[in-house]
Structure 1
Amino acid sequence: MTKRPRVSRTKTQEDTEAESGFKPGDSVALFVTCLVDLFRPSVGFAAAKLIEGRGGEVIVPQAQTCCGQPAFNSGDRDTARDIAKQVIAAFERYDHVVVPSGSCGGMISKHYSELLADDPQWAPRADALAAKTHELVSFLFDVTGMTECGETFEGSVTYHDSCSGLRELGVKRQPRRLLESAGVNIVEMKDSEVCCGFGGTFCVKYPDISNTMVGKKTANIAATGAGTLLAGDLGCLMNMAGKLRREGVDIEVRHVAEILAGMTDEPPIAGSHENHEGDL
């Protein structure tokens, strides 16, 4: 029997929607994170703009709080479980949950199921939320199929790969691909995948070790000669920005969402218009 030749076809929008589970009009709950809410709201607005640009209906649940990671990392599992249940109850009704932070996103998508594994009522709810929770840039690129951001940015940048985003969620190529679509010249730093020393409560518990780590990181950043430092986690960015400022390194520090959304009117992190009393 003669086999029929296989006919190839171009992937359609319907194909992409079927593969990713995302379609325009889906509800997308934005988990803002504590640091974005308190120190850099522009990141939240940039995230909302990017999601809406892909056709998602952005909702910011008012009942959201911390993701519970500080308690979890400090060994306070009971408090972490209580927070996890509160977050699940606030977010589980939406089609997708998006977080402009690999750290908080990893907490929800990787550790809630671990915390609630022995609870027959909450374990399936934790698993269901984990399955639809995404780091922002991964959501844009991997879930909605975004390949171009539609913005342009002049100048060179270097990119820090935050630990949780990289190791727990696999965020590496996605931000670079989208930045390249904006015409960004990416100058890779040495050891971009090495921790900056922030680590949430780590920098408070072990300040000397943290300072040594961020010192090595900022030396690698400065060596690139790039005009802007980008990353996807505000905690890392604040840590590096504070050290760069104290060392007198002339480089702007921004969250990647601000570049992709074309929202660079805000002063850079640890810029001249911000209060530096709380520099990390």
Structure 2
Amino acid sequence: MRIALFATCIVDAMYPKVALATVRILERLGHEVVFPPGQGCCSQMHVNSGYVEDALPVVRNHVRTFMEADYDLAVAPSGSCVASLGHQQPDVARSCGDEGLARDAEVVASRTLELSQLLTDVLGVTDAAAQLGSWFPHTVTYHPSCHGMRLLRLGSRQEDLLRTVADIDLRPLPDAEECCGFGGTFALKNPDVSAAIAEEKIEKVTASGASLCTGGDASCLLHLDGAMHRREARGQDGRPLRTVHLAEILAATRENPLEVDGPVELSIPASAGVRRGLSARVQEARR
């Protein structure tokens, strides 16, 4: 199968290793992964902030990019962005009077899946250790993102995959269904409330006994990672807590383990703009 990677803004700008992990997983299963050039934001940030007209050219760019690309299905390591394609992009186009764009947006959305959806529903992955070679000998708890739960209705897909990773110690997260507090621009417009919600989530992560928190949305993990580092800076935690994306855990093997000890450094591109050279980084990782 020829699979197009929709990297998403936060993954490209802050967590490119998550995109590379996604590529490795799919290629390990024997599929070809392509990176449609010109892809950008899903427009979620604009829509959630009320800037629907400003979102229109962003929607046009995404739809054009993926309508013109040659692939069977597209995948994104982000439930939030995949949800935006189906729940927001067609509405943006229709509210701006472009019915043709709305129909094309629905086509693109119907061919785009979140990573765990693709792995379980299409590619038939039921045992990550046996089928992917996944090995992760660490204590982990899982945070389900709001959009993944409520818009994509991912159910237990991500957690089921984690349970089949070799040597993982998966701990239940108390009140897992509660929000992490990010909410996109909500975290910028309501920083005190957002930070307080994140602090409550970190308390639950600590209570789980895990040293790592995983999930399928880099935006949630970015927010939680920031809260974890602030707690460390204040000397609140006796042990360090870190975040790691679902794709990174599934891509980790005995031969190529994921290093999680010590401080985590975000792999931020040299330029400020998103979409900088991810295609080149994917190609380089294959060499």
Instruction: State the TM bucket, normalised to the shorter chain.
Output: 0.7 to 0.9
Q: Does 1:265 align with 2:258?
A: yes
Moved more, 146-155 or 30-39: 146-155
State the match for 1:28 in structure 2. Answer: 3
State the match for 1:111 in structure 2. Answer: 88
Structure 2 length-normalised TM: 0.82
Report the aligned-residue RMSD. 2.0
State the match for 2:175 in structure 1. Answer: 191
State the match for 1:100 in structure 2. Answer: 77
State the match for 2:271 in structure 1. Answer: none
Deviations 1:183-206 (A, max 9, x none): 322211111111110011000000
Change (3 A) 1:45 1:217: same
Change (3 A) 1:37 1:264: farther
> Does structure 2 conserve the Cα–Cα contact (< 8 Å) formed by 1:258 and 1:264?
no
Partner AA of 1:159 in structure 2: Y
State the match for 1:224 in structure 2. Answer: 208
Distance 2:19 2:149 in 1: 21
User: Which residue, 178, 182, 185 being the options, matches 1:201?
Assistant: 185
Distance 2:138 2:214 in 1: 12
Counterpart mapping for 1:1-280 below 5 A: 26-92=1-67, 93=69, 94-117=71-94, 118-149=97-128, 150-183=133-166, 184-248=168-232, 249=237, 250-262=240-252, 264-265=257-258, 271-274=263-266
Change (3 A) 1:49 1:243: same
> Does structure 2 conserve the Cα–Cα contact (< 8 Å) formed by 1:69 and 1:107?
yes
Change (3 A) 1:264 1:244: farther
Structure showing greater radius of gyration is 1
Change (3 A) 1:265 1:103: same
Distance 2:135 2:258 in 1: 14
Distance 1:143 1:71 in 2: 31
Moved more, 254-263 or 111-120: 111-120
Partner AA of 2:149 in structure 1: L
Task: Give secondary structure in 1 for the equivalent of 2:88.
Answer: helix
Partner AA of 2:209 in structure 1: G
Q: Structure 1 regions of 5+ residues with no counterpart?
A: 1-25
Deviations 1:20-50 (A, max 9, x none): xxxxxx2211111111111111000001111
Task: Give secondary structure in 2 for the equivalent of 1:151.
Answer: coil
Task: Give secondary structure in 2 for the equivalent of 1:265.
Answer: coil
Change (3 A) 1:139 1:217: same
How far residue 266 of structure 1 moved from its aligned partner, in angstroms, is 5.2
> Does structure 1 conserve the Cα–Cα contact (< 8 Å) formed by 2:242 and 2:264?
no
Distance 2:180 2:257 in 1: 24
Distance 2:184 2:100 in 1: 30
> Does structure 2 conserve the Cα–Cα contact (< 8 Å) formed by 1:43 and 1:255?
yes
Task: Give secondary structure in 1 for the equivalent of 2:100.
Answer: coil
Aligned residues: 250
Deviations 1:173-228 (A, max 9, x none): 11111111113222111111111100110000001110110111000000111121
Change (3 A) 1:227 1:115: same
Task: Give secondary structure in 2 for the equivalent of 1:186.
Answer: strand
Q: Structure 2 regions of 5+ residues with no counterpart?
A: 269-287
Distance 1:80 1:190 in 2: 37
Task: Give secondary structure in 2 for the equivalent of 1:29.
Answer: strand
Distance 1:103 1:232 in 2: 9
How far residue 271 of structure 1 moved from its aligned partner, in angstroms, is 2.6
Higher helix share: 2
How far residue 77 of structure 1 moved from its aligned partner, in angstroms, is 0.8
Distance 1:162 1:139 in 2: 17
Percent identity reads 35
Distance 1:267 1:186 in 2: 16
Task: Give secondary structure in 2 for the equivalent of 1:121.
Answer: helix
